[in-house]
Structure 1
Amino acid sequence: MAFNHNHRYHPRLLGLVPPEAVRALDVGCGQGRFARRLAARGLDVDAVDVDGDMVRVTEALGSPGPGKVTARHQDIVAAELEANAYGFISCLASLHHVPFETVGKLRAALAPGGVLAVLGLARPSTPADWAVEVVSIPLNLVARGVVAAGEWLNGGTDPLPAAPVNMEFPRMGELRRRAAELLPGSTIRALPFWRYLLTYRKPLPRPDHTTGG
């Protein structure tokens, strides 16, 4: 299949899944590729997408086990999410399709100790952001060349429908400011291939040291 910048980061995202996580939410699941990788790790995954075609593809491809993928045709902005329910929530190239304030709803849906991982797209703000942007250009050419050669040798490309694309991206500086407000303690790092990784871990409850009299 054609080189996909999001798929390139699947192993890195899987490395952020807490060992104790049993349920996951994949927001903007697309064809369900990452949801299936989570299920292969043993998590039960709610795979949500606003595009009906993507949900049908995810349903048709099913679950690899041992975890189960449940595809849902939902707008995450309007969806009612169970509080403290998910050990891991992922958003792959989907957060810029909705208001950034949606992360507040995702934070509430995380179980204590759970992780929100956002692989997103944004425009650079700082010299360091621009440096990563420039390095991405030759890396992208090499990667696409390698994958194109593989397609030619294997006789075809991915026949599945592609997810909708939104080319309006926020700036990294704005993302960092909003994340500090809505996801205190989160980190944002610029990545090659025009991506950033936002990571947030929901704090565990503080132990109650009070004693009865």
Structure 2
Amino acid sequence: MIAMGALGWDHNAYYRRTLLRRLPPSPRRVLDVGCGAGGFAVELARRAQRVDAIDRSPEMIETARRIAPSNVTCTLADVLDIELPQREYDAIVSVTALHHMPLDRALPALARALRPGGVLAAVALPRPDLPRELPVELTAAVGQRVFGAAFLGLRRITDRPWYAPDPQSAAMPLVIDPELTTRQVGALARELLPGAQVRRLVFWRYLLVWHKPV
């Protein structure tokens, strides 16, 4: 009998690959907003010349600095309280941070920091939108267990982590319940960033992608 706790897995790590696929080829400079313990910044550093990793949690930044390679700069700050370089980043990415911010401030600030042709790609938590999203919620509930069992089996027969829960996640600040549904995020994003695309992902996340016009 497998305990239900053993079937847990890291949804944030799972969706990193979704964002990596949105990166432009050989980006020069990438911004990681809400970098947490730095795991995604390390992955980004393998693809980009330079990565700026920002988080407002002292504990998370301290952890990120311990694992960051030389081309990653970790900064303790709220991205809305600092002056980002303008038209500088080839890509701005974020995993589970946007719902902690007012989007009417965050999206324009991040858009200004992108170079023309750059891409903003973020995964964040939506507020449940029932009954409209009931089918995807049911799919997620079943898939959570199926994927959890598969990843557990793979961890047992290989030396890869296969989205095992990160022990550092226990030190992360308390997650704030999101205020906006996926539909509301989409409407606001398209108003602020014409051409932005927002879609619901299965495992309790949405994906926002915007390409800055050249």
TM over 0.5: yes
CA RMSD of aligned residues (A): 2.3
Q: Does structure 2 conserve the Cα–Cα contact (< 8 Å) formed by 1:21 and 1:114?
A: no
The one-letter code matched in structure 1 to 2:12 is: N
User: Post-superposition shift, 1:6?
Assistant: 1.1
Secondary structure at 2:103 match in 1: coil
Alignment pair present for 1:103 and 2:107: yes
Instruction: String of CA shifts for 1:25-65, please: whole Å, max 9, x gaps.
Output: 000000111111110113311000000010011100121x7
Alignment pair present for 1:74 and 2:77: yes
User: Post-superposition shift, 1:175?
Assistant: 0.7
Q: Give TM-score scaled by structure 1 length.
A: 0.85
Secondary structure at 1:7 match in 2: helix
Q: Does structure 2 conserve the Cα–Cα contact (< 8 Å) formed by 1:151 and 1:157?
A: no
Partner of 2:168: 160
Question: What pairs up with 1:103-182 in 2 under 5 angstroms?
Answer: 103-125=107-129, 129-148=133-152, 158-162=166-170, 163-169=172-178, 170-182=180-192
Q: Give TM-score scaled by structure 2 length.
A: 0.84
Change (3 A) 1:112 1:127: farther
Q: Does structure 2 conserve the Cα–Cα contact (< 8 Å) formed by 1:93 and 1:120?
A: yes
Structure having the larger proportion of residues in helix: 2
Alignment pair present for 1:42 and 2:48: yes
Moved more, 164-173 or 102-111: 164-173
Secondary structure at 1:111 match in 2: strand
Q: Does structure 1 conserve the Cα–Cα contact (< 8 Å) formed by 2:50 and 2:72?
A: yes
Instruction: String of CA shifts for 1:7-26, please: whole Å, max 9, x gaps.
Output: 11122211100115210000
Tell me how many residue pairs correspond in the alignment. 200
Q: Does structure 1 conserve the Cα–Cα contact (< 8 Å) formed by 2:26 and 2:47?
A: no
Q: Does structure 1 conserve the Cα–Cα contact (< 8 Å) formed by 2:124 and 2:206?
A: yes
Instruction: String of CA shifts for 1:146-174, please: whole Å, max 9, x gaps.
Output: 445566788x9744353223241121221
Secondary structure at 1:6 match in 2: helix
Distance in structure 1 (CA, Å) of the matches to 2:166 and 2:201? 25
Distance in structure 1 (CA, Å) of the matches to 2:127 and 2:169? 27
Change (3 A) 1:180 1:126: farther
Moved more, 195-204 or 129-138: 129-138
Distance in structure 1 (CA, Å) of the matches to 2:205 and 2:11? 8
Secondary structure at 2:51 match in 1: strand
Quote the sequence identity (%).
36
Instruction: String of CA shifts for 1:54-89, please: whole Å, max 9, x gaps.
Output: 0011100121x7xx1110000111111010010000
Structure of greater Rg: 1
Instruction: String of CA shifts for 1:116-157, please: whole Å, max 9, x gaps.
Output: 001011024476633222211111112233445566788x97
Alignment pair present for 1:14 and 2:20: yes
Partner of 2:67: 61
